[in-house]
Amino acid sequence: MAWQAIGEDLYDVDDEKLAEIQRRLTQDNNMEDVYEIFARSSKKIVLSMKEMDAILPKMTKLFFGEESEFDLKSLSQLKEEKASSVIYDIYNEAFNNAVKHLNDAVSVINDEQGIFESYISDRIQMKDKDALRFFIDSLLNKLKRMTSILDGDNNENIILLIKNKSKAETVMQPEAINKDTIFGLTSIGDPLDRMFINTAIVPEDLNPSNNNFQTFQDREKYINLATGTMLHEAVHAIGLPEDYIYLNVEDTGGFVSIEQSLAQIKYAIENNFMEKEHFNYLCHLYFLSNPVYKDLSLESLMKPSNLKRLFQLDDYFKGVLLINNPDTVSQIISDIAKNNELFRRGDGAP
Ligand SMILES: [Zn+2]
């Protein structure tokens, strides 16, 4: 990764240079190092069970609170106990959704390439053929690896954190659920690929047997949020520890449209709202790996206004960010699964 010329004159990014970048991107370039950033996460460091046992309590304490405040139960355990059926029903349905969305997305990418390609080129606005091809190949690769984490035949790795009823203060008030709420947790070193899901967001008094529309909507919202969390954590679990941006969700708990997400990302880049340290590192890695940028000053490239423009004109840069960010990968999976349903419902219609 040494494309950045050393000791030579480096240029600042201006309109002329941006046009030149655009031109260079369409020419034959050595993108091998860039491809490696797309494929990132292929190396997962696996800890021993002993190491993991030592880390786990510290991790859950840091993010969720004292051990005495909640119980850790796997989905399959909860099913046997039949104790907390509201929580079980919501998270079991979310798990089934997450598995289905993931498998649907894999089969669409495999079997109905046209649909997926037009989603990427028309809606994500990634037009460069080479960048698009590499994006699709490496995404498929990642999703296939996620299917071993979200496995319909084995959900023992889905661990729910269930608040302890005797500790009233651990009950989360709906208004306290915000951007900083930790919905889930994974350690990429965990040999058991467990994900820990925070169920404290579901209100105590949610009673699905209340036969009214509000309750129905609330229940749907928690299912959608939990589905998104499970997909998100599965992306971490394949070895992508960083989050670069958390995407907005609708009141229904589902993702906003991909166009709105892209607008949110552009806005965050321009206004310095990205998870700064991680994002800066990824950008550096990218600019140093792509020969197109070899004579441009890194300092100038890293200016938020330039980064935003590059996000719009460099499909490799866009792709590298989207494919390494758990929320965007989760949204793409959900979108494709949704499209697939619409497509199939059309039953052979063009
Ligand atoms: Zn995350």
Residue 4 lies in a domain: no
Measured CA distances, 124 to 198, 315, 335 (Å): 31, 10, 11
Q: What's the 218 CA to ligand 1 centre distance in angstroms?
A: 24
Q: What's the 309 CA to ligand 1 centre distance in angstroms?
A: 26
Tell me the C-alpha distance between 253 and 221, whole Å.
Answer: 5
Into how many domains does the chain fold? 1
Residue 23 lies in a domain: yes
Mean pLDDT confidence for 39-60: 76
Query: pLDDT digits over 256-304, tens only?
Result: 999 999 999 999 999 999 999 999 999 999 999 999 999 999 999 999 9
Half-sphere exposure of 337 (CA within 13 A, CB side): 23
Q: What's the 240 CA to ligand 1 centre distance in angstroms?
A: 9
Q: What's the 186 CA to ligand 1 centre distance in angstroms?
A: 8
Q: What's the 263 CA to ligand 1 centre distance in angstroms?
A: 20
Residue 1 lies in a domain: no
Residue 8 lies in a domain: no
Tell me the C-alpha distance between 194 and 180, whole Å.
Answer: 22
Q: What's the 256 CA to ligand 1 centre distance in angstroms?
A: 18
Q: What's the 325 CA to ligand 1 centre distance in angstroms?
A: 8
Residue 267 region by backbone torsions, left for phi larger than 0, else alpha for psi between -120 and 50, else beta: alpha
**φ/ψ of residue 306, rounded to 5:** -70, -40
Query: pLDDT digits over 220-257, tens only?
Result: 999 999 999 999 999 999 989 899 999 999 999 999 99
Q: What's the 296 CA to ligand 1 centre distance in angstroms?
A: 32
Q: What's the 242 CA to ligand 1 centre distance in angstroms?
A: 7
Residue 2 lies in a domain: no
Tell me the C-alpha distance between 216 and 194, whole Å.
Answer: 30
Q: What's the 88 CA to ligand 1 centre distance in angstroms?
A: 23
pTM, rounded to two decimals: 0.89
For residues 116 and 136, the answer to whether their CB atoms sit within 8 Å is: yes
Residue 134 lies in a domain: yes
Residue 259 lies in a domain: yes
Residue 9 lies in a domain: no
Query: pLDDT digits over 186-207, tens only?
Result: 887 888 888 999 888 888 778 7
Q: What's the 236 CA to ligand 1 centre distance in angstroms?
A: 7
Range of the domain at 328: 15-341
Band of residue 144 on the pLDDT scale cut at 50, 70, 90: very high
Which pLDDT value is given to residue 350? 46
Q: What's the 21 CA to ligand 1 centre distance in angstroms?
A: 32
Which pLDDT value is given to residue 4? 57
Q: What's the 184 CA to ligand 1 centre distance in angstroms?
A: 8
